[in-house]
Amino acid sequence: MTQAGNYFAGMPGHLLRRCHQISVAIFLEECGEFDLTPLQYSVLSSLKYDGVQDQITIGGHTALDRTTVAVVIENLEKRGLLERQQSERDRRSKIVRITPSGLEIIENVAVGVQQTQQRMLEPLSESEAVLLLDLLQKMADGNNARSRAPQRTRRK
């Protein structure tokens, strides 16, 4: 049943946007004490689990465009959570590494991140949650090339 002026309410793009808004709100509730955004968390996680990388590789791992990844990295660098230096092989490239402070915050925020994921999936049964995640992954993989910032890593 469609209400006037709300014909878009059941469209996948609208529902995904709403779910993203909800996800960010829950993340900020659960992780607010660490003063991290979800994008900052993804960059720090990429550095923790994949090691030292250049900014372009981080963008590929996190599916962030060049400008966004540069801003996120700059903000994290100002907080002392990561360090950047010019690449010795390619002067145009910036090499990024997580600092001990960055490692500490990423470990401390882990419980809040897990709580965020659980709260997002709370309205679903266990089998529905598994199905949703499988379908979202299939949708993301199938449309990856259409993204402004395609993910450039293999899923493990």
Both structure tokens of 7? 């014909």
**pTM of the predicted structure, to 2 decimals:** 0.87
The pLDDT value given to residue 55: 92
The pLDDT value given to residue 1: 45
Q: What domains does the chain contain, in order, with CATH numbers?
A: 12-146 (1.10.10.10)
Distance CA 40, CA 137 (A): 21
The pLDDT value given to residue 93: 80
Mean pLDDT split into 10-residue runs, the chain, 156 residues? 67 93 97 96 96 93 94 97 86 89 97 97 97 96 90 67
Distances (CA, A) of 155 to 50, 61, 120, 145, 152: 13, 10, 22, 15, 9
Helices (H) and strands (E) in the chain, counts: 7, 3
Distance CA 52, CA 16 (A): 32
The pLDDT value given to residue 3: 55
